Amino acid sequence: MSQSVALPAVGTPEIPSIPLRELAPWALLFGLLALLVLFFVSADQGAISIPAGNAVHEFVHDGRHLLGYPCH
């Protein structure tokens, strides 16, 4: 008894397209998260600081220097 096996088609595979309506909420979410991270890295723990103290500044200290923000 012989069995037949279906082989995949040879050629270039199709690249699935993602509709913009499905991509937009994720882009907005990651954009807002990036802005939040940038705020905490660039905040100088001054008048607009959300948490009081030096905790955030010390946590992101090296990142501030890497991005060119002065802090000393």
- State residue 50's pLDDT score: 64
Dist CA 61 CA 46 (whole Å): 15
Q: What is the pLDDT of residue 45?
A: 61
pLDDT of 24:
93
The string of pLDDT tens digits covering residues 38-72 is 877 776 665 566 666 677 677 777 877 887 877 66
CA distances from 56 to 7, 24, 32, 35, 40 (A): 57, 31, 19, 16, 7
Q: Sorting pLDDT into bands at 50, 70 and 90, what band is 23?
A: very high
